[in-house]
Chains A and B, each alone.
Chain A
Amino acid sequence: MTKLLEWISVISAVFAVWYSLIGGYVKHPMIENNMNIVLVSPIIFVLLFGLYAVTVVLYRVFTFNNCEEAAKELQVEIAEARKDLLDKGLKW
């Protein structure tokens, strides 16, 4: 199954549950009393997920390792390499 089909199946399943709730196929006082929340629940879910995504991405951006040490080490090695290659007779 492709990833697209996986997504379609899961979303359809969730949609079917939601539709049975708002369509009144499942009778329960808790659902009837909170019909407004049930109605907008997909939007709430999408918003919450968006918030989660933005938080995770921003956190990872700000904690992205800058590798200052690696950059410095590389500069030192480049200088060493230039000197050594010059000694070995490389012209470039």
Chain B
Amino acid sequence: MAATSLDSEITKSDKYSILLPTYNERENLPIIIWLIMKYLDKSGYDFEVIIIDDGSPDGTLDVAKQLQKIYGSSKIVLRPREKKLGLGTAYIHGIKHATGNFIIIMDADLSHHPKFIPKFIELQREHDYDLVSGTRYKDGGGVHGWDFKRKLISRGANFVTQLLLRPGASDLTGSFRLYKKDVLQKLIDSCVSKGYVFQMEMIIRARQLDYTIGEVPITFVDRVYGESKLGGSEIFQFAKALLYLFATT
């Protein structure tokens, strides 16, 4: 019984730090912040948004400062960096400044909708998962704005990955996830790859370290503003990372 009261104590003091790495997201940033406020204020969870802008030339940081004035510096925290330094280091930078015991990472380009965050939190609490990952590939999830070729590459790559790595999670390259803070720290420390394959390695390392993984189906609406990229170099990076993880984990 003592454990139950302790649990509720912990639950009460849970805080969620949302890390938003941005680069030239002037158009999207106000909207994503507005959506986060809309869905999280309503839910009653304690949270903060940490904006990590990598010196965007389009003035993303100016917009972020205005947003901080509107919503307050306890909710919007600015931790900019001088120049573009990559996703992995952005998370490390963000964790250092995060005051929450849970970290949520998401893209600021509106492809990840904040309405799913309360679902991540509920699922995590229900099962005490170490991490909860959004998935585009399970029932209820999906992608908007992809043509046949893009879907084929995505499904094909996912099939091969599931076959070779059996990761225990259906969406490896997605980056909409909730982590316990210490778990995220450990995963980042054990990852070697850079760029977007970093997301895949995080899940594989999680399996390797016996962390528990929950999944929430998400709808992914591909970039409303700006170009989404998938070229030969991304596919090559992916294949390289896949073989590396296949041979080493």
Interface residues of A (CB under 8 A from B): 2-4, 7, 53, 56-57, 60-61, 64-68, 70-71, 74-75, 77-78, 81-82, 84-85, 88-92
CB 8 Å contact bits of B226-249 with A (1 = contact, 0 = none): 000000000000000000011111
- Whether A65 contacts B155 by the Cβ 8 Å rule is no
Count the A-B residue pairs with Cβ separation under 8 angstroms: how many? 89
Expressed in whole angstroms, the Cα–Cα distance for A81 and B206 within the complex equals: 36
- A56 to B137: give the CA distance in the assembly, Å: 13
Q: Which residue of B lies closest to A71 (CB)?
A: B144
State whether A74 touches B110 (Cβ < 8 A).
yes
CA distance A89 to B68 in the complex (A): 12
Partner of B34, one of A4, A65, A66, A81: A81
The 28 listed contacts between A and B (C-beta, < 8 Å) are: A2-B246, A2-B247, A3-B166, A3-B246, A4-B247, A53-B159, A56-B159, A57-B152, A57-B155, A64-B143, A64-B155, A65-B140, A65-B219, A66-B144, A67-B144, A67-B221, A70-B113, A70-B144, A78-B31, A78-B224, A81-B35, A82-B31, A84-B34, A85-B30, A89-B66, A90-B63, A90-B70, A92-B26
State the B residues within 8 Å of A (CB).
26-27, 30-31, 34-35, 38, 63, 66-67, 70, 110, 113, 137, 140-146, 148, 151-152, 155-156, 159, 164-166, 219-221, 224, 245-249
* Cβ contacts under 8 Å, A84 to chain B: 34
**A31–chain B nearest beta-carbon distance, Å:** 30
Q: How far is the CB of B30 from chain A (nearest CB, A)?
A: 5
Q: Are A74 and B155 in contact (CB under 8 A)?
A: no
B142 interface neighbour in A67, A75, A88, A92, Cβ under 8 Å? A67
Q: Is the CB of A65 within 8 A of B141?
A: yes
Give the chain B neighbours of A81 by CB distance below 8 A. Answer: 30-31, 34-35
Q: A60 to B35: give the CA distance in the assembly, Å.
A: 31
Chain A nearest CB from B245 CB (Å) reads: 8
CB neighbours (8 Å) of A78 from chain B are: 31, 110, 224
Asked whether, in the complex, the Cβ of A91 is within 8 Å of the Cβ of B66, the reply is: yes
Q: Chain B residue with minimal CB distance to A91?
A: B66
What residues on A are CB-neighbors of B143 within 8 Å? 64-67
CA distance A90 to B156 in the complex (A): 43
